[in-house]
Amino acid sequence: MRFDHLAYKEPDDLVFGFAKYPLRYGLGLTVGDGKVVPEVKYLLKPGLERSPETFIEEYKKTTVSIMERAANLGFYDVQLETEFVEPMTVNPKLGALVIEAQKTIMDDYHKKFGIRTALRATIADVRRFGEGLRAGNHFELMMRSFEEAARAGADLLSIESRGGQEVFSYSIIRNDLLGILFSLGILAPRDVRFLWSEIVKVSGNAIPAGDTACALANSAMVLADGLVARKIPHVLAAVIRAMSAVRTLACYEEGAKGPGKDCAYENVIVKTITGYPMSMEGKTSAFAHSSLVGNISATVCDLWSNETIAVDDTFGGKTSAIIFEMLGYDTLLMNTSIRSGREKILRDMLVESDRYRDPQALILAPDSAFMIAKKIIAERGDYWRCLEAALEAVKIIEDNMDRLALPDAEKRQLHLIKNFFENAPDEDRLIEESIKRYKDKVRDFKPSNYEL
């Protein structure tokens, strides 16, 4: 399947809480049908996994903390996301026991208080580049974790896949545009397509939900940092975000159905194309990382998330419950605007609060996402899609240069980026040049991982 048209007629049709293709799953939960649902993420402190009994018990306490807060405050819709740490993924039975324990508690609160709830299991990408991305012990354990999580009661299956990361990580710190294009336009989409064709096969009763360019575009966003500490150019991070939509879109073309995973900020573009519900994160991700897109990322969300927070005890209770309460009040505001017919007013305020603060935010505005999405679906091949997304992102930044107030160094970098992508080699030549260039320079890069 290849998406060849947009799900929406115009950018104004994009708004939080509404997806073209709503979903119903879990314990009475619906998403994308006219409301925004909080999705809370958490991670236990390292070391607890050494005792399986203690590990499972802590996940139980974490789940109770969220469900108790939901019942106590009257937030009757909540999705939980359990991100598997590596010990859970390489021990599929342990991961399954955690999921089973959580779902038992969630079912209890659903029956007692009518809380509509569901659980997303995000399996860790534990594959070793040197061992192979398409076979080997770690690949097999990862796939078994998907299967066992689904059997244990996970409602959604997701992953933050890392294909292309080895070349991308080498290239991003060297401002190597060839390597960035190779990793995002060739390697990452190939890996996503292979991986998701396999995930769909083992998903069972769970919904194969979605992937994220966390290892790629989010790495660029974090390196770009803020207005003072710029480790890489912000215009480069913005262009990379647009390009990353191609590899994330690929999982839906292989059978994923949404809701998309929160840390895929490119989901604004992906939703424009697919019409599937999307989870997003923003200001409440500050416990995990800082960004310049804290408000604008909420504009088209169907679930509103927090990135990962370490579970700990504080004056206000467990951090998992506290961050859920924050998410709950954010979604309460969004849902109140929907009920009053003013959701587009709130959406536009969220957009304008961030749009011109940084090119990374500008790219995520619904009208910008719409233009990038149109360029993507006009091409069939992932490489050309990626290239067109990059060029459109450059154009959007150029057209808004006066409002962005970019430093001169950023303007010079944008000129270099534009010149490179306008003169980029064709796909076959890029592959040939890149294999020669990175096979020896990047230790973990093995063309066979991508059938090259």
* Mean predicted confidence (pLDDT) in 342-350: 98
Q: Which residues, other chains included, contact 411 with Cβ-Cβ below 8 Å and sequence gap of 6+?
A: 401
Share of the chain above pLDDT 70, in %: 100
pLDDT tens string 124-155 = 999 999 999 999 999 999 999 999 999 999 99
Question: Could you tell me the end-to-end alpha-carbon distance of the chain, in angstroms, rounded to an integer?
Answer: 22
Lookup: tokens for 211: 């992937």
Share of the chain above pLDDT 90, in %: 98
Q: Kindly state whether residue 4 falls inside one of the protein's structural domains.
A: no
| DSSP state for residue 58 in the 8-state scheme | H
Whether the predicted model's global pTM rises above the 0.75 cut = yes
Q: Is the pLDDT of residue 321 over 90?
A: yes
pLDDT band at residue 1 under the 50/70/90 scheme:
confident
Identify which has the larger pLDDT, 376 or 380: 376
Place of tokens 């390697």: 187
Q: Kindly state whether residue 162 falls inside one of the protein's structural domains.
A: yes
pLDDT at 347: 98
pLDDT at 66: 98
pLDDT tens string 41-60 = 999 999 998 999 999 999 99
pLDDT band at residue 424 under the 50/70/90 scheme:
very high
- Cα–Cα distance for residue pair 66/325, rounded to 1 Å: 9
Q: Kindly state whether residue 451 falls inside one of the protein's structural domains.
A: no
Neighbours of 409 (CB within 10 A): 11
- Cα–Cα distance for residue pair 261/280, rounded to 1 Å: 7
pLDDT tens string 22-44 = 999 999 999 999 999 999 999 99
| DSSP state for residue 450 in the 8-state scheme | G
* Mean predicted confidence (pLDDT) in 329-357: 98
Q: Kindly state whether residue 5 falls inside one of the protein's structural domains.
A: no
Provide the residue range defining the domain that includes 138.
11-443
Write the DSSP assignment of 239-286 as a string of letters. Answer: HHHHHHHHHHHHHHHTT--SPBPTT-TTHHHHHHHH---BEEE-GGGT
Q: Kindly state whether residue 394 falls inside one of the protein's structural domains.
A: yes
- Cα–Cα distance for residue pair 24/40, rounded to 1 Å: 18
Q: Kindly state whether residue 449 falls inside one of the protein's structural domains.
A: no
pLDDT band at residue 271 under the 50/70/90 scheme:
very high
Q: Kindly state whether residue 203 falls inside one of the protein's structural domains.
A: yes
Q: Kindly state whether residue 60 falls inside one of the protein's structural domains.
A: yes
79 and 120 in contact (C-beta within 8 Å)? Answer: yes
Q: Is the pLDDT of residue 218 over 90?
A: yes
Q: Which residues, other chains included, contact 159 with Cβ-Cβ below 8 Å and sequence gap of 6+?
A: 122, 123, 124, 125, 195, 199, 211
Sheet containing strand 37-42, edge to edge, reads 207-210, 156-159, 116-123, 77-83, 37-42, 303-305, 279-281
Helix (H, G, I), strand (E, B) or coil at 8: coil
Query: How many domains does the chain contain in total?
Result: 1
